[in-house]
Amino acid sequence: MQHRLSIIPISTGKGYENTECLRMRAFCHLLLDYLPEDGLEEIKDSLLEAIKFYREPQPVSEAFHLNDSFEVAIGEGYERPVFQIAED
């Protein structure tokens, strides 16, 4: 199987301003070519986990709908224990 990586600059979108980032992406693409088929499922899972970890956080307004309501249950109250702190 052969394939080619083409970088086509576009006038809109995020683009690749950082050439080191572009070089690293191309190198990772090359590494995938050398990966045996047995490792494809594992590397796919690893890449998905990395994407989830490194992606930019969603703004609060997108993560939670401010107009949504939900019921909560309040548990039993209790008295907090007193902790003694010894000072030196």
Q: What is the mean pLDDT of the chain?
A: 77
User: pLDDT tens-digit profile of 16-25?
Assistant: 567 787 888 8
Kindly state the average pLDDT of the residues 75-83: 82
Task: List, as one string, the DSSP characters of 37-81.
Answer: GGGHHHHHHHHHHHHHHHSPPPPHHHHS-TT-----------PPP
3-state DSSP call for residue 24? helix
pLDDT digits (tens, 9 = 90+) for 30-64: 899 899 999 999 999 999 999 888 887 766 655 55
What is the amino acid identity at position 57? Answer: P
